[in-house]
Amino acid sequence: MNIVDALILGSLQGLTEFLPISSSGHLVLGQAILGVKQPGNEFEILVHLGTLASVLVVFIDDIKSLFFSLTSKKTQTFILFILIGTLPAVAIGLGFKDIFVSLFENVTAVGGALIFTGLVLYTSAHVKRKDKEHTFLSSILIGCAQAVAIIPGISRSGMTICMALFLGLSAKEAARFSFLLAIPAISGAGLLTAIEVNGTYPLPVTVAIAGLISSFAVGVLALKWLLGWLEQGKFHYFGIYCLIVGLITMVI
């Protein structure tokens, strides 16, 4: 992997981590197109750190608000909802890890998963907008949606936001919960990957920096873009894109 590859793949990760079009699926396709076969997991750790930093920057006000109101019953309940929503991904991710890893090498499976993502996203256009409150049940169901998105080609943000919309949460609250839920999810995925790194294939410093910075910068822009489109009711447009890419992937 060279600097150009790192910039492209880092940007791809930053763009697709938050847009509901599956970062894992696009990284599989991106590496296949570029012919990149990077041994070890160092690069994946770096780009995940970059996108995690994007969430922290964009939602810094929400994070500070939660931190400075930890004694509030409402804040404690919300944090509990985040923890509950994280559990399904932890259980399923660890329990079926080998199966999910094998899917990363199956481009056809990624194409099918993208089609599934597209159908779910497009269906969200027909949901009546409501403004319900979070419950323990909604947190569990959104967490299950996040767990399903471990499959490459199924979008984490797409599944969690759509599930929240289906359950009656407002578009703004659906996005807020989805991306705050991403913090422990991305952190956990990065930590597990880091534990598995054996240090045999260290990345060149320039390649590492290129991947980290590109994933962070593009991640910030992508996250702000998505929030705008969600507020404007254009979320389902991403479903059309996923359907097209998924069908093309299946055909070729």
Residues in the chain: 252
Residue at token pair 């998505």: 226
Which has the closest alpha carbon to 50: 214, 176, 178, 207? 214
Question: What is the structure's pLDDT at 39?
Answer: 53
CB-based contact 142:181 (threshold 8 Å): yes
Q: In a structure prediction context, what are the per-residue pLDDT tens digits for the chain, which is 252 residues long?
A: 789 988 988 898 888 888 887 777 777 778 778 887 765 556 777 887 888 899 899 999 999 998 899 899 999 999 999 999 999 988 887 776 667 666 666 778 888 889 999 999 988 888 877 888 888 999 999 999 999 888 888 888 889 999 999 999 988 889 889 989 988 877 876 676 666 655 555 678 888 889 889 999 999 999 988 888 887 877 888 889 889 988 988 887
Question: CA 128, CA 238: separation in Å to the nearest integer?
Answer: 18
Which has the closest alpha carbon to 181: 97, 105, 80, 92? 80
CB-based contact 204:90 (threshold 8 Å): no
